[in-house]
Amino acid sequence: MDLEESITRFCEALERHSIRYVIGGSVASGIWGEPRQTNDVDVEVWVGRQNAAEFLSAMSSYLVSEQGLEEALSSDYFPEVQVVDEDSMLRFDCFLQLESDPFATECFERSALVELVTKRPVRVASAGEILLQKLRWYEIGHRVSQRQRRDLNGILRAEPEIEWTFVTRWAERFGLDALLDEIRREAGLGHS
């Protein structure tokens, strides 16, 4: 089974159980920028205590730790639970989103349906969100990841229709406006 089929199957399992999700990370940056090899799939999932059992039910044909989910539900800092597709051995890093988080809510609203497999669309983060998420991870990693930097530049070069009002507003809120300006200059776009 190929990557696109594995991702689509995973998303369909979430949809059957009414779990909101958005595909992000290198898969989304590859859609909006330059594709590259990846070992996992980042997925934002709207899972809390109220629908944790439904999430586990959706993931019944995958490897997922109930204890890992409980730990993620108790965490405040990028809560994440890993899910593994035994057929493909693909790992899904599921980042738990809060209904009350205005950034996550706006990102879900801006996400797009993309067909990785014909006639089976999945929800993918917008280019603007991926740009912001890559900026955040690049900053958290002390600006040393050349892979994150390449992803940022790839998105800026390949996707001219980025929602700049959204990106600059959230970059300012996250304290990333100077970094955004630096990356934009590097890509030949001037400052925001």
* Structure confidence by residue, pLDDT tens digits, 86-144: 998 999 999 999 888 999 999 999 999 999 988 999 999 999 999 999 999 999 999 99
CATH 3.30.460.40 for domain 3-125, yes or no, is yes
Under DSSP, is residue 95 helix (H, G, I), strand (E, B) or coil?
strand
User: What pLDDT does 51 receive?
Assistant: 96
* Structure confidence by residue, pLDDT tens digits, 160-176: 789 999 999 999 999 99
Residues of the chain with CATH 3.30.460.40: 3-125
Is the Cβ–Cβ distance between 21 and 46 less than 8 Å?
yes
Residue 192's pLDDT band (boundaries 50, 70, 90)? low
Residue 189's pLDDT band (boundaries 50, 70, 90)? confident
Q: Which long-range contacts (CB under 8 A, 24 or more apart) does 102-110 make?
A: 103/170, 103/173, 104/44, 104/46, 106/166, 107/22, 107/44, 108/20, 108/22, 108/44, 108/46, 110/163, 110/166
Q: 0.85 exceeded by the pTM?
A: yes
